[in-house]
Structure 1
Amino acid sequence: MKTSSVTRTRAMIAVLVAACVGIVGVAAAGQPPVAPGLQFFQVGHWVYNAAFQTAFHVDGSTNQVDARVALPGVEPGAQVAQGERSGYVVERSRITVFDKSTLSVENAQTPPAAEVPVVLEVAGGPYLVYRNAGQVVRLGDPAATVPAGGPVSEPAVTGDGSVWLHRVDSGALCELPRGAAVLTCPAQVEPGHTGALTVVDDRPVLVDTTADALRTFDRDGFGPSVPLGVDLPATAQVASSTADGRLAVVDPDRARLHLIDTAGLDQRPVAEPVEVELPGNGRYSGPVATARVITLVDQARNEVLTYDSKGARKSVTKVPGKAGAPRLARGEDDRVYVENQDGSQVLVVDGEKGSVVTVDVGKAADDRSGERPTGSTTTTPSTTEPAPTTTTTPPVDDRKVTSRLTPPVARATAPGAPGDVGAEAGDASATVRWDPAPPNGAPVTAYHVSWNGGGTTVGGGTHSARLEGLANGVAHVFTVVAENEAGRGPGASSGSVVPLGVASAPDVTATTTFGGSTVTWTQPDLRGGTLVHYLVQLPGQPDRQVTGTTTDYTSFTGALGSLVTVRAITRYGPPGSPTSTGHPGTAVVPTLMGLPVVKFVGVRWSGAGRAIATVDVNNSGFPTTCKLSTFNLEGRPPVEVACGGVQEIAIDVPGVDPGRAVDLTLNASNANGNAQPATWRGVPAAGGGGGARRSGTSGGMAAR
């Protein structure tokens, strides 16, 4: 019995998988519930065309538009997700539900956040993941809105319908099982580590871009970890699945596509990573992987690029229409669908060959030859009998269809998404930058920047925003939305950044003696962080990590006369949390040049219990202080005088009669440091003579 592709789609052809047996079935309204353990895979892709205010279904197997639903009043840039029986048109302020069998609008729902979500068309779904708000909406049965507790990264999905999420603020790795309404978080990423989630052989895997490793995890926590073999930045874009056992990762900073062999997760021999040089300036959408093909979009050239798992380019296809950020989606039919900015063109990527076919949705809207005949029927062969199952659809009012498909007069629409949104963290702050959004017929009047816990608005001619008052140590993702007279367009988000407080500079002092140099400092303002250690750097010496506030250098190599730098290293959160390097405090390590040089000329008695030391002090022209002490003082303070040249210093030595020996020590210091001490031991000469100028009295001993 012949049937058209229109009626096949409207009857919801789906591939039904049970164990290893493939079954073809029909998901029509009024049918009995699906048996447990069975799973529907949806065919094709829905796209919303703002000019015609209509959602169109593109059949990837025929590259034809075979169904449409009129949806007046939907904002431009809306996404369309499909489930087993319903389609969902997702706007920032509304989710419109339509029946895929009757192609009629059923109801509308209110989303949990005014941001553009990640759409997942998977078993048990579809799902909408609101990354900044940390909310997951399941539109399938049973419908639910599940809080994640904080912002999340790009999700990953395993074959059983479980959605896996990475909390970017806490590092928790969480699972939302199919049909569940509560997240479970069995694993925790170490603080300070960045990464992305993917699926390898139907297992969730963390791509740790800090450790450059693949790490398996499941409901029991982390499993094996294997090296990536490449150095990835935190900005790496990771495919959510593999192609022929290789994981595709885009390094936008170096314009490179890495194809990483994942065999090591099963302890099999690992092939070397494949590196592909990409065109463009580092602005890419994707990568998206099918069974054998990797797809990404060069946003600078507005081109779709496809590669096989060995890195060979399969095709380069221009995206028709206005430049912007095309939207990529992997269909459950193992094809990749690329929408241009206004939904007028859909590029269908063959998941096996990498070839690309462009479907002109606007032309199909003008050409009503594919419109379903009144009273048409849909038949699909049974898995056991050739007799068809028939679903009769209601007649279509031809007059209404005509009015709905008449293209409106050209008018301005809401702007497109801003390009290349990036964020740079500071101290309790971040700077967000973006490329201008396509205006779509009317000047952009404002950009709205939002994050979990706040938002701000800047003028349409501004393409950056400095955001203050952010919480240090907390991950932030920023979304930018453009607005013109027609409304707000879709948003684009930055990667996750963590603001960190920067400790102030310590006050540093350096002194030098003939025994070495000593560096001391004060504890600075740590700006709310916890001190990890101080980083002390001196040319010619290894860097030091010191927990106290002083350190000594006994080797002078490359040190004397150099600038020593001390910074406080702080962290935010428990051990292992992100750290911040404080502002530098500095001091010059004094050289031996300019230090005082002292020696004894002689010592004589000046009566019982009193000696006169004649000393020679070379103070290099700097004010210098001398301290004369003796063992016989038994802990009393030394005599302290200003000194320079040859002079006499008197010191009391109580209890020592002339004719007995005394022990004297002379220290001197100036702004350059301390002299090498001079010592004298012996029996002082009888009193008289000297010729040197006298200094010092026993006044220093008055308190004895």
Structure 2
Amino acid sequence: METTSSPVPGRRTRLKFTALAVSCAVLVGFAAMQTSAASDVEFTQVGHWVYNSTFGSAFHVDGSAGQVDAQVKVPAGDPGSQVVQSEDSGYVVQRSRITVFSKSTLSVEETRTPPATELPVVLEVAGGPYLVYRNAGQVARLGDPVATVAAGGPLSRPAATGDGTVWLHRIDSGSLCELARDASRLACHAQLTQGHSGALTVVDDHPVLLDTTSDELRTVGQDGFGEPAAIGVDLPATAQVASSAVADRLAVVDPERSQLLLIDTAGLQKRPVAKPIVVDLPKDGRFAEPVTTTNVVAVVDHTRNEVVTYDRGGTVKDRRKLPGGGTPALTKGEDNRIYADSGDGSHVLVVNGDNGSIVSVDVDNASSTPPAVTATSDAAAPSTEPSTGPSTEPTTGPATPPATGGAPANPGSGTTPRVTLVPAAAPAVTVSLASGTYTVRWNQPNLRGGSLVHYVVTAQGQGSRTVSGQSTQYTGISGTVTVRAVTRFGSSTVQGNAGSATVPAPPAPVSAPTIDIVRVRSVSLNLIVSVSATSKGGSATCKAAIGSRSTSVACTGSTDITIPNVSWIGAITVTATITNAAGSRSDSWTGVPQVG
């Protein structure tokens, strides 16, 4: 499968570097959220994929740089096909097929048959991505574990919480159900009043139902509904509700009044509720449900092919026309950005989730511009002396602008300078232990003429994560760990050589032990106390005592503890104590020991 890429940087991007030809390099971006435990790494997918039917390719847009940085050939795709991503794979979703490609090799791996012939609602969340086929009442999980779950009836628009739980509303029965990230079937906990309409959303990372008939908010959980909270406005059944709140306001489009409403959710916490903020929209506009981040509301006007952003107070932050054909679509990325795709995939608007500013990305132009830079191999990189800057050398062929801008060298000569991207040297990686936690540290290596963008820290079998160029340490991974410096030359980046170290596995957690006396017997003046001990993750010591006489031994499981030279008459009392790093537990026994 042919794959091409434009080597454009992404500053907050985890980069994989794949050689596609002798002098061509690909940089594919996605970042990982740092966690404190390697066994519980949660990845955040950075950037956005869009399908362009003209070029028959899926393109990756780096939201932080506002540029296209990767391309995968996926022929025979339909205009308007959606693309979603997991940690390792991308999925081009059509009505008739789902095409799976690798994000590391940029090649198609397989095709799958979707559970329904409709375009689904896509959710890029932890444990996903998910495809929700609303009319067919089917939910497809493309992440681990892969599953298709039948809801039993048509669905309204889904919502998802941060832990990857998808919440669904059955339109016909009114049932409100959850699909946990590892579950293979739904669990339904509540039911909307018959004859009422509503929409699911998420407030403070909790599922909430907006009942548009009673005009109330109600939390939804395993115990059913919470107490209702009035919203202070009369909404029609056609209200378009955002799938998550922006700060403490819920964004709703009222298409009948051509208004954007920002509804106070304070009633859910039993606090006084402020009046809704009302923003007038164009009377002739056509609007779908708004999409929100933590600070921004984005609304697309299909009549004008325009995206407008607002802050939580309803103030306009930016507006931008979306070029290209087809019906625009808004989606929220895991990187706290909103992406607006033109229907033909020729353009993408990137909305900054913090301030609402909009950047336009011309996918067609990026697709038709050949890479103007190449990357040297590690063998070609200088080993010790730092470079004073990017070197240039002539290459024959059609004249094209140099990667760093400006006019071609020797105008009219048919030659163009080629910028050589020299990988940075390998960092010196060390490991230290403090308070039971291993920390990986490294030095800033020889950058060989490039400027530092960030570091990529990779743990074998645990994926990669991006670390700011201002930091030279990372905590919470084990095994063989490699560190690379990503450097920029002009407008292009390259991943450097790897320094590595081995991080021991974190010690197993230790919890309080247990001990039970199973039997006490006397053999030749020796008192033998048999115990059942559980050390629960740490080494333990068991002690048996009668009066002032005692014996201690290392123990786990079934253990006999012998107290020598014990004479007794009638019933006696014996105690047994187990101790490990987490504490101690004791058991006692009173009776007449067995003899022999």
Whether these two folds match at TM > 0.5 is: yes
Please give the root-mean-square deviation of Cα atoms over the aligned residues, in Å.
Answer: 2.5
Given the alignment, which residue of 344, 358, 367 partners 2:360?
A: 358
2 CA distance for matches of 1:368 and 1:7? 23
* Contact 2:129/2:141, CA 8 A, preserved across alignment: yes
Query: Does the C-alpha gap of structure 1 residues 195 and 82 become closer, same or farther in structure 2, counting only changes over 3 Å?
Result: same
Alignment match, 1:35: 39
2 CA distance for matches of 1:284 and 1:46? 23
Paired residue type of 2:343: Q
Given the alignment, which residue of 84, 109, 112 partners 2:112?
A: 109
1:275 aligns with 2:281: no
Deviation at 1:17, TM superposition (A): 4.7
Deviation string 1:235-292 (CA, Å, 9 cap, x unpaired) is: 0000011112100000001101100011111122222110110014251133001111
1:435-474 matches, cutoff 5 A: none
1:239-254 matches, cutoff 5 A: 239-254=242-257
Deviation at 1:42, TM superposition (A): 0.5
Q: What secondary structure does 2:32 align onto?
A: strand
1 CA distance for matches of 2:175 and 2:374? 49
1:263 aligns with 2:270: no
* Contact 1:12/1:84, CA 8 A, preserved across alignment: no
Q: What secondary structure does 2:243 align onto?
A: strand
1:120-519 matches, cutoff 5 A: 120-322=123-325, 324-369=326-371, 373=375, 380-381=456-457, 385=473, 388-389=482-483
Paired residue type of 1:265: L
Deviation string 1:198-244 (CA, Å, 9 cap, x unpaired) is: 00001000000000000111011011210011110000000011112
Query: Does the C-alpha gap of structure 1 residues 172 and 341 become closer, same or farther in structure 2, counting only changes over 3 Å?
Result: same
Alignment match, 2:32: 15
2 CA distance for matches of 1:282 and 1:255? 8
Deviation at 1:375, TM superposition (A): 6.1
* Contact 1:285/1:325, CA 8 A, preserved across alignment: no
Deviation string 1:179-203 (CA, Å, 9 cap, x unpaired) is: 1101000101110000000000010
Alignment match, 2:554: none
2 CA distance for matches of 1:220 and 1:289? 28
Deviation at 1:15, TM superposition (A): 2.8
2 CA distance for matches of 1:213 and 1:106? 47
* Contact 2:79/2:343, CA 8 A, preserved across alignment: no
1:563-602 matches, cutoff 5 A: none
Q: What secondary structure does 1:286 align onto?
A: coil
Q: What secondary structure does 1:169 align onto?
A: coil
* Contact 1:285/1:328, CA 8 A, preserved across alignment: no
Deviation string 1:31-74 (CA, Å, 9 cap, x unpaired) is: xxx723x3211000000001100100000000010111011111
Alignment match, 1:454: none
* Contact 2:47/2:333, CA 8 A, preserved across alignment: yes
2 CA distance for matches of 1:123 and 1:58? 20
2 CA distance for matches of 1:208 and 1:372? 57
Query: Does the C-alpha gap of structure 1 residues 182 and 240 become closer, same or farther in structure 2, counting only changes over 3 Å?
Result: same
Query: Does the C-alpha gap of structure 1 residues 7 and 292 become closer, same or farther in structure 2, counting only changes over 3 Å?
Result: closer
2 CA distance for matches of 1:365 and 1:12? 17
Q: Give the TM-score of the pair, scaled to structure 1.
A: 0.51
Query: Does the C-alpha gap of structure 1 residues 7 and 41 become closer, same or farther in structure 2, counting only changes over 3 Å?
Result: closer
Deviation at 1:385, TM superposition (A): 4.2
Q: Structure 1, unaligned stretches of length 5 or more?
A: 24-33, 393-704
Paired residue type of 2:32: V
Paired residue type of 1:35: S
* Contact 2:67/2:361, CA 8 A, preserved across alignment: yes
Query: Does the C-alpha gap of structure 1 residues 375 and 173 become closer, same or farther in structure 2, counting only changes over 3 Å?
Result: farther
* Contact 2:30/2:47, CA 8 A, preserved across alignment: no
Q: What secondary structure does 1:265 align onto?
A: helix
Q: Per chain length, whose mean CA-contact separation is higher, i.e. which structure has more relative contact order (CA < 8 Å, sep 6+)?
A: 2
* Contact 2:29/2:47, CA 8 A, preserved across alignment: no
* Contact 2:200/2:209, CA 8 A, preserved across alignment: yes
* Contact 1:331/1:337, CA 8 A, preserved across alignment: yes
- How many residues end up aligned between the 2 structures? 376
Paired residue type of 1:355: S
Structure 1 residue ranges (4+ consecutive) displaced by more than 3 angstroms after TM superposition: 2-7, 9-13, 370-379, 381-392
Paired residue type of 1:109: R
1 CA distance for matches of 2:374 and 2:190? 51
2 CA distance for matches of 1:7 and 1:207? 38
1 CA distance for matches of 2:235 and 2:375? 55
Deviation at 1:13, TM superposition (A): 3.2
Deviation at 1:369, TM superposition (A): 2.1
Q: Which has the larger radius of gyration?
A: 1
Query: Does the C-alpha gap of structure 1 residues 190 and 372 become closer, same or farther in structure 2, counting only changes over 3 Å?
Result: farther
* Contact 1:7/1:372, CA 8 A, preserved across alignment: no
1 CA distance for matches of 2:373 and 2:220? 49
1 CA distance for matches of 2:372 and 2:271? 51
1:524-543 matches, cutoff 5 A: none
1 CA distance for matches of 2:324 and 2:55? 15
1 CA distance for matches of 2:373 and 2:190? 51
Query: Does the C-alpha gap of structure 1 residues 293 and 104 become closer, same or farther in structure 2, counting only changes over 3 Å?
Result: same
Paired residue type of 2:313: K
2 CA distance for matches of 1:364 and 1:181? 41
Query: Does the C-alpha gap of structure 1 residues 13 and 361 become closer, same or farther in structure 2, counting only changes over 3 Å?
Result: same
2 CA distance for matches of 1:282 and 1:196? 22
Alignment match, 2:547: none
Deviation string 1:509-566 (CA, Å, 9 cap, x unpaired) is: xxxxxxxxxxxxxxxxxxxxxxxxxxxxxxxxxxxxxxxxxxxxxxxxxxxxxxxxxx
Paired residue type of 2:342: N
1:672-687 matches, cutoff 5 A: none
Alignment match, 1:47: 50
Q: What secondary structure does 2:228 align onto?
A: strand
* Contact 1:134/1:150, CA 8 A, preserved across alignment: yes
Query: Does the C-alpha gap of structure 1 residues 306 and 7 become closer, same or farther in structure 2, counting only changes over 3 Å?
Result: closer
2 CA distance for matches of 1:170 and 1:345? 40
* Contact 1:280/1:300, CA 8 A, preserved across alignment: no
2 CA distance for matches of 1:209 and 1:170? 16
Alignment match, 2:407: none
Deviation string 1:558-579 (CA, Å, 9 cap, x unpaired) is: xxxxxxxxxxxxxxxxxxxxxx
* Contact 1:340/1:346, CA 8 A, preserved across alignment: yes
Alignment match, 2:514: none
* Contact 2:49/2:85, CA 8 A, preserved across alignment: yes
Q: What secondary structure does 1:87 align onto?
A: strand
Deviation at 1:371, TM superposition (A): 7.6
* Contact 1:336/1:350, CA 8 A, preserved across alignment: yes
* Contact 2:161/2:206, CA 8 A, preserved across alignment: yes
1 CA distance for matches of 2:48 and 2:355? 19
1 CA distance for matches of 2:305 and 2:351? 16
